[in-house]
Amino acid sequence: MASMNKPMNNKTDALKVKSGYEDVGGLKMYFEIYGEGQPLVLIHGGGSTIHTSFGRVIPLFSRTRQLICVELQAHGRTGDRNTEISFEQDADDIATLLKYLNIEKADFLGFSNGGTTALQIAIRHPQICNKIVAGSVLLKRNGTFPQFWEFMKNGTFEQMPQPYKEAFLMVNPDPDKLMNM
């Protein structure tokens, strides 16, 4: 299961981290735990890793909270399974991970797609939720400009922001997995 490892981010180098993988519904899910106190689950945005979304705030938040940081299906160090990726499945995966980690209730902070996943956790698993912070989420398809959806429909790998590509390859050097994500 988990082991004591050093995170792969200069901003968090001085922090103790417990990291590992847990089998969650046929998925080898990666997680990191920092600090002590009331649990706060950090859920990254689409195309991101733990550290691209939260690397700068982990040191601050871990002073007073136990942070449970996850990487979702096909992101970073977490594996993939032969199923579609959905916010509902991501919510179920996180709920199962928390059960394995013996965390009965937590607060959740999700950014972008992670925010939508946090909302799905509140809907599907309200018994494990204290508070939800959902940052930069799209609640409805018409919540953004129509050009956004046209761009997403025709998006290419070349259009993915280079920092996201580099961050993925830092934690998972397999270019095929980056293309799959």
Residue 39 or residue 10, greater confidence: 39
* Residue 84 CB contacts under 8 Å (≥ 6 apart), including other chains: none
* In the predicted structure, residue 36 carries a pLDDT above the cut 80: yes
Task: Please state the domain extents for the chain.
Answer: 2-180
Q: What is the pLDDT of residues 162-171, one digit of tens each?
A: 998 999 999 9
Position 50 confidence tier, pLDDT thresholds 50, 70, 90: very high
Residue 144 or residue 3, greater confidence: 144
* Residue 116 CB contacts under 8 Å (≥ 6 apart), including other chains: 87, 110, 134, 137, 138
Residue 2: the pLDDT is: 41
Q: How far is CA 15 from the centre of its chain?
A: 19
Residue 47: the pLDDT is: 93
Position 11 confidence tier, pLDDT thresholds 50, 70, 90: low
Provide, rounded to the nearest whole percent, the portion of the chain with pLDDT above 70: 93
Residue 10: the pLDDT is: 56
H, E, C per residue of the chain: CEEEECCCCHHHCCCCEEEEEEEECCEEEEEEEECCCEEEEEECCCCCCHHHHHCCCHHHHCCCEEEEEEECCCCCCCCCCCCCCCHHHHHHHHHHHHHHCCCCCEEEEEECHHHHHHHHHHHHCHHHEEEEEEECCCCCHHHCCHHHHHHHHCCCHHHCCHHHHHHHHHHCCCHHHHHHC
CATH code assigned to 2-180: 3.40.50.1820
Position 150 confidence tier, pLDDT thresholds 50, 70, 90: confident
Average pLDDT, the chain: 91
* In the predicted structure, residue 18 carries a pLDDT above the cut 90: yes
Residue 120 or residue 152, greater confidence: 120
